[in-house]
Amino acid sequence: MEKAAIGIDLGGTNLKGIIMNDKGQGRHLTRVPTEAEKGGAHVLENILVLIEKLIAQEGSKDHISGVGIGTPGFVDDDGTVLGGAENLPGWKGTQIYKPILEKFGLKAIAANDVTVAALAEAKYGAGKGVRNSVCFALGTGIGGGIVIENHLYKGTHGMAGELGHIVVETNGIPCNCGQKGCVERYASATGIVNLAKKLSAEKKGKDETQFTKEVNGNPSAVTSKMVYDFVKKSDPVAMNVNEIACDMLARAVGITLNALSPDRVILGGGVMMAGQVIIDTVSKYTPRYCWPAIWERCEIVIAQLGEDAGVLGSGAMVFEELAIIC
């Protein structure tokens, strides 16, 4: 039977799993609740339940090379969660690999969820066909993932790819990480929404646009989607928000280009529902922030796999790191 992998995406609300082949084709997509509030040991128990369900649907586990898991935070080489997963209380310190090996006889491999999504995009999505790519996932924050010579680069302790904390403005907006001016303060959904509120408040009572009226009327309802709906309508203030956010993102992209000279930069995450306008605006600003010779050899593209990137990347790790030795 064709070699297969189990890919699991650990979210704050749901655990998602599939069985897939090394071409990135999945089956038996299954969800179980994460129940994060019940603590790390319980989350691990739910992962075992999910693996059991997937194997049951598959009918056999003999051809399964291992279990890949994408999780918030960092995972050390031995499968211990090192931290960085604040929405999963008690998850830090959990040993992931051993219980899976003991219960199912399957090796496991885990990594940061955004990092894993970057691997999926590199192998099956927007990075297919090139050797080196970098992902920025624009969500509530900004996550990152680096694929070097077709392999996921995790760093020795699974911590590489924190691209959201590249400082792009000296003494800029304070970030939860302790720095000021991190790119995620400007170009994440949170950053875009805050910028929209700030620019709209400045227009209050003068030069209001339809966008600023809506924002000022109900600031708590503003989303990045709303901002980009108004960008489509050419609202000047919404367009200005886009320009500033994309300029800031371009600074981080430029730094990443100078350091890694990737063939592609892949932009994903919820904010990228806005699509091409972000690609175009970031591509306009990026040449200001990197070497021309590097920029000429790189393109900025939209992620293609959407919410499936997590499970597919987790499964891809199995083929990359476990399949041969199993």
Backbone angles phi, psi at 112, to 5 degrees: -55, 140
Burial of 86-96, coded b for 16+ CB within 10 Å and e otherwise, reads eebebbbebeb
84 lies in the binding site for its own copies (CB under 8 A): yes
Picking from 118, 134, 126, 138, the residue whose alpha carbon sits closest to that of residue 245 is 138
| Pattern 285-324, its own copies, x by CB under 8 A | ---xxxx-xx--x---------------------------
Scan for tokens 């990359």, then name that residue. 320
Distance, CA of 148 to chain centre: 17
255 lies in the binding site for its own copies (CB under 8 A): yes
How far apart are alpha carbons 252 and 249 in whole angstroms?
5
SS3 of residue 149 by DSSP = coil
- Give least dist CB 217 to its own copies, A: 33
170 lies in the binding site for its own copies (CB under 8 A): yes
88 lies in the binding site for its own copies (CB under 8 A): no
- Give least dist CB 251 to its own copies, A: 7
How far apart are alpha carbons 108 and 7 in whole angstroms?
10
Q: Are 245 and 187 in contact (CB under 8 A)?
A: yes
- Give least dist CB 254 to its own copies, A: 8
165 lies in the binding site for its own copies (CB under 8 A): yes
| Pattern 128-147, its own copies, x by CB under 8 A | --xxx-----------x-x-
Q: Which residues contribute to the site for its own copies (CB under 8 A)?
A: 74, 82-84, 130-132, 144, 146, 148-149, 151, 153, 155-157, 159-163, 165-170, 172, 177-179, 181, 251, 254-256, 258-263, 288-291, 293-294, 297
